[in-house]
């Protein structure tokens, strides 16, 4: 088993108001089989024993599905390995003596709470604006009452694989949330069940995305390159199309019932 040493430059910031800065840590013994977060666990154990404040980072499932973890490693969201969240990134991809810069996701819509922890509540608010199908419990027809063509279902699933980690925003040079929002709209608007609300959904979700202060999409494709679920930027084009169409089609309701 290979072991090696690393130098970490970690962004430390006590709370949202603190200006923050980098602190360097030497990590003398890194095993190649550790995950990146396990390596940070070891660093933190050392800090705690010394009475120092451990590095705060978000994580939960540690199997790449909950979307809680994520930070920048040398300028890459979730680090250098394709299709991988930072919790599944293993140390065998690093070399002895490497210097790594760890920074939180940076976007006005994702304020830093502490160290590498950011607040991604903006994503929840985008979903609350329209990222759902209104199907109150008990109102559903039989599961096979509406057939869904397999290609549509597969494409919806491709988009629905989004874990909401925020890497797309972090990596985007413009801090756009287009990949996240586009993925959710694509998931729901591709399914027959999503049709009744398709137009209202895209208008509401795009509106909320704008309100949250994310930037614009310039189609650089960096989001797609770092997305741990490799969601294609095709979903952004779909969102744009749906949005243009919905904006053009929109009719003023005679009276608003709700």
Partner 1 sequence: MSATTADRISSFYQTSIGKKVVMAATGVILFGFLVGHLLGNVQIFAGADKFNAYAEFLHNTPSLLWGTRIVLLLSLFGHVTAVVQLYRARAEARPVQYKVKRNRGATLASRLMLVSGVAVFAFIIFHLLHFTTGTVHGDFKPDDPAHNLISAFTIPTVALAYVVAMGLVAMHLYHGLWSFTQSLGVSHPRYTGRIKASAMLVSVALCAAFASIPILILAHYVK
Partner 2 sequence: MQLDAKVPSGPIEKKWDQAKFDLKLVNPANKRKYSVIVVGSGLAGASAAASLAELGYQVKCFCFQDSPRRAHSIAAQGGINAAKNYQNDGDSVQRLFYDTVKGGDFRAREANVYRLAQISVNIIDQCVAQGVPFAREYGGALANRSFGGAQVSRTFYARGQTGQQLLLGAYQALERQIGLGRVTMYPRTEMLDLVLVDGRARGIVTRDLITGEVASHVADAVVLGTGGYGNVFYLSTNAKGSNATAIWRAHKRGALFANPCFTQIHPTCIPVSGDYQSKLTLMSESLRNDGRIWVPLKKGDTRSPSDIPPSDRDYYLERRYPAFGNLVPRDVASRNAKTVCDEGRGVGPTGLGVYLDLSESIGRLGIATIRERYGNLIDMYERITGEDPYKTPMRIYPAIHYTMGGLWVDYNLMSTIPGMYVLGEANFSDHGANRLGASALMQGLADGYFIIPYTIGDYLASTKLEKVDAAHAAFADAERGVKEQTARFLASDGKRTVDSFHKELGRLMWEKCGMGRTATGLKEAVVKIPELRERFWSEVAVPGTGEELNRELEKAGRVADYMELAELTCRDALARNESCGGHFREEYQTPEGEALRDDDNYSYAAAWEWKGTGQEPALHKEPLAFEHVHLAQRSYK
Which residues lie near partner 1 (CB under 8 A)? 9, 22, 72, 74-76, 101, 103, 106-109, 171, 173-176, 206-207, 210, 213-222, 224-226, 232-234, 236-244, 247, 250, 252
Question: Tokens in use for 221?
Answer: 């494709």
Question: How crowded is residue 176: how many other Cβ atoms within 10 Å of its Cβ?
Answer: 25
Min separation Cβ 192 and partner 2, Å:
9
Among partner 1, partner 2, none, what does residue 49 contact (CB within 5–8 Å per kind)? Answer: partner 2
Min separation Cβ 22 and partner 2, Å:
19
Min separation Cβ 176 and partner 1, Å:
8
Per-residue CA distances from 1 to 29, 33, 91, 245 (Å): 12, 8, 12, 57
Of the pair 163, 227, the CB lying nearest partner 1 is at 227
Among partner 2, partner 1, none, what does residue 72 contact (CB within 5–8 Å per kind)? Answer: partner 1
Largest interatomic CA distance in the chain: 71
Among partner 1, partner 2, none, what does residue 226 contact (CB within 5–8 Å per kind)? Answer: partner 1
Of the pair 116, 176, the CB lying nearest partner 2 is at 116
DSSP string of 228-239, one letter each residue: TT---THHHHHH
Min separation Cβ 109 and partner 1, Å:
7
Find the helix or strand (DSSP H, E) in which 23 lies: strand 21-31
- Residue that the structure tokens 């398709």 belong to: 198
Among partner 2, partner 1, none, what does residue 176 contact (CB within 5–8 Å per kind)? Answer: partner 1
Min separation Cβ 187 and partner 2, Å:
7
Mention every residue, 6+ apart, whose C-beta is less than 8 A from residue 69: 37, 57, 58, 59, 60, 62, 85, 86, 87, 165
Mention every residue, 6+ apart, whose C-beta is less than 8 A from residue 6: 26, 27, 30, 39, 94, 96, 97, 98, 99, 100
Of the pair 160, 203, the CB lying nearest partner 2 is at 160
Of the pair 22, 132, the CB lying nearest partner 1 is at 22
């Amino acid at each position: 088993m290979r072991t090696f040493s690393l130098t970490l430059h970690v962004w430390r910031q006590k709370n949202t108001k603190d200006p923050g800065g980098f602190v360097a840590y030497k990590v003398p013994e890194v095993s190649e089989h550790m995950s990146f977060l396990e390596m940070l666990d070891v660093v933190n154990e050392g800090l705690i024993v010394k009475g120092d404040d451990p590095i705060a980072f978000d994580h939960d499932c540690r199997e790449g599905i909950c979307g809680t973890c994520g930070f920048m490693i040398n300028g890459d969201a979730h680090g250098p390995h394709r299709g991988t969240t930072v919790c599944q990134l293993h140390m065998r991809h690093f070399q002895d003596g490497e210097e790594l810069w760890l920074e939180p996701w940076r976007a006005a819509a994702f304020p830093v709470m502490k160290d590498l922890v950011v607040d991604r509540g903006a994503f929840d608010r985008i979903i609350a604006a329209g990222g759902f199908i209104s199907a109150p419990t008990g109102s559903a027809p039989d599961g096979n009452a509406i057939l869904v063509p397999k290609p549509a279902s597969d494409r919806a699933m491709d988009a629905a694989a989004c874990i909401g980690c925020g890497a797309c925003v972090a990596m985007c040079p413009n801090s756009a949330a287009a990949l996240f929002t586009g993925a959710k709209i694509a998931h729901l608007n591709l399914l027959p069940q999503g049709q009744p609300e398709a137009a209202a959904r895209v208008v509401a979700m795009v509106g909320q995305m704008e309100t949250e202060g994310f930037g614009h999409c310039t189609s650089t494709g960096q989001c797609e390159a770092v997305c741990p679920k490799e969601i294609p930027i095709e979903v952004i084009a779909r969102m744009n199309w749906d949005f243009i169409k919905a904006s053009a089609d929109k009719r003023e309701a005679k009276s608003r019932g709700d």
